[in-house]
């Protein structure tokens, strides 16, 4: 294997793929990139942790094709530290990878490409094309509500639900729920639910940008694959049944509050400074035409914020985790938001006023 490549051209795919390479590995080869130099001037960089695989492509002047695996972080650090605009010459000498640029020389240990686990042969049942920014929006509006290392493993991921020509993403950690619908039709041969694991979702979100370019989502039995210009991400799916999230969304709410979203966010942020660091609880006291936000902590410090609001009930007091409220409000985009509840013990539905594509549910907190 022998090729030469501009530093920036090499750095781009290495930086894109490094996210899937775990620092602590059970197999030494998983700490490596798979580098493939192809005769048509294409260079492929692959990283995997056996759950998520990411392939980034770039262009290089390939003198001799071949493939090998090299320590990922060392290679990335070397390329990153070289000066801008330089050319890098790479060649394989036995079991060592030689890098040279100007007066710099590096020799890296390698492992054979045959040891690298391949998930490339994934049977894709069908694929759907989506607008890149539309898919990014689905992830941005819901992924923050995923659980992290919950024993209910099916909560440590994001549900993609294809139903009645619609695509919906759903995430919950048992304390809050985020639901977002795609604005438009998605034609699939049959309704299906897929749970993409947390790491796959985070890498997907990192790949996507706010362009109108089409991206392809390949739906397999055990995998999902995203293909966009120069990048291919393959993630295993979580084998489990997602809870009935529809049962959690409150319906027939009798207590409805409408408030300015920006004012509410700022008031919650200020009050949270004096909330209990462990429970992050704030108390909302609604009555008349105002909402009072009150926070206490064990040091007997107190914060109180008062906001104007439109209420269709006389009085109510309820507690919430302020972080969950802020996450939901920050995911919305409208000027005014609606907070709807059945009573002081029920969950709260938070939506943008007059817009129903994304909905957020936060469970109350006993203070």
Domains defined for the chain, CATH in brackets = 2-115 (3.10.150.10), 127-219+231-246 (3.10.150.10), 250-362 (3.10.150.10)
CA 243 to chain centre: 20
Q: Is the distance from CB of 157 to CB of 196 less than 8 angstroms?
A: yes
Report the distance separating Cα 338 and Cα 349, nearest Å: 8
Report the distance separating Cα 228 and Cα 222, nearest Å: 20
Helix (H, G, I), strand (E, B) or coil at 157: strand
Predicted local distance difference test score (pLDDT) of residue 121: 61
Predicted local distance difference test score (pLDDT) of residue 59: 95
Report the distance separating Cα 255 and Cα 349, nearest Å: 11
Predicted local distance difference test score (pLDDT) of residue 25: 81
Q: What does pTM read for this prediction?
A: 0.92
Q: What share of the chain is helix, strand, coil (3-state, %, to 5)?
A: 25, 45, 35
Predicted local distance difference test score (pLDDT) of residue 119: 65
Report the distance separating Cα 110 and Cα 197, nearest Å: 30
Which tokens belong to 167?
A: 């695509």
Q: Is the distance from CB of 249 to CB of 238 less than 8 angstroms?
A: no
Predicted local distance difference test score (pLDDT) of residue 122: 65
Q: Give me the average pLDDT of each 10-residue run along the chain (367 residues).
A: 97 96 89 95 95 95 97 98 97 97 97 85 80 97 97 96 96 97 92 96 95 94 92 95 94 93 98 94 96 96 97 95 98 96 94 91 92
Helix or strand holding residue 272 (H, E)? helix 261-272
Report the distance separating Cα 68 and Cα 29, nearest Å: 11
300: left (phi over 0), alpha (psi -120 to 50) or beta: left
Predicted local distance difference test score (pLDDT) of residue 93: 95
Q: Is the distance from CB of 265 to CB of 253 less than 8 angstroms?
A: no
Q: Beta strand 231-236 with 223-228: parallel, antiparallel or unpaired?
A: antiparallel
């Amino acid at each position: 294997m022998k090729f030469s490549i501009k530093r920036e051209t090499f750095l781009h795919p290495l930086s894109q793929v490094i996210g899937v390479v775990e620092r602590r590995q059970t197999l030494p080869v998983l700490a490596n990139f798979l580098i493939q130099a192809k005769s048509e001037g294409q260079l492929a960089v692959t990283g995997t942790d056996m759950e998520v695989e990411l392939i980034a492509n770039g262009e290089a002047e390939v003198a001799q094709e071949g493939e090998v695996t090299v320590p990922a972080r060392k290679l990335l650090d070397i390329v990153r530290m070289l000066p801008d605009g330089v050319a890098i010459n790479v060649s394989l000498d036995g079991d060592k990878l030689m890098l040279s640029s100007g007066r710099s020389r590096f020799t890296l240990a390698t492992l054979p490409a045959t040891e690298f686990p391949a998930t490339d042969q994934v049977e894709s049942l069908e694929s759907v094309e989506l607008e890149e920014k539309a898919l990014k929006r689905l992830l941005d509006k819901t992924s923050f509500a995923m659980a992290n290392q919950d024993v209910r493993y099916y909560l440590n991921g994001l549900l993609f639900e294809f139903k009645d020509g619609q695509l919906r993403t759903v995430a919950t950690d048992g304390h809050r729920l985020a639901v977002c619908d795609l604005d438009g039709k998605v034609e699939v041969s049959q309704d299906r639910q897929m749970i993409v694991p947390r790491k796959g979702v985070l890498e997907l979100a990192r790949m996507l940008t706010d362009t109108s370019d089409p991206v392809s989502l390949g739906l397999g039995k055990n995998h999902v694959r995203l293909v966009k210009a120069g990048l291919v991400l393959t993630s295993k799916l979580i084998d489990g049944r997602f809870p009935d999230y529809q049962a959690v969304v409150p319906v027939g709410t009798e207590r409805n509050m409408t408030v300015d979203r920006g004012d509410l966010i700022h008031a919650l942020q200020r009050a949270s400074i004096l909330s209990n660091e462990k429970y992050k609880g704030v108390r909302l006291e609604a009555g008349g035409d105002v909402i009072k936000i009150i926070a206490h902590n064990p040091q007997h410090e107190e914060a109180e914020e008062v906001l104007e609001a439109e209420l269709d009930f006389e009085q109510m007091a309820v507690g919430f985790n302020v972080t969950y409220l802020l996450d939901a409000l920050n995911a919305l985009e409208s000027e005014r938001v609606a907070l709807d509840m059945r009573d002081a013990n029920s969950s709260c539905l938070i939506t943008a006023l007059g817009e129903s594509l994304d909905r957020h549910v936060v469970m109350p907190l006993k203070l």
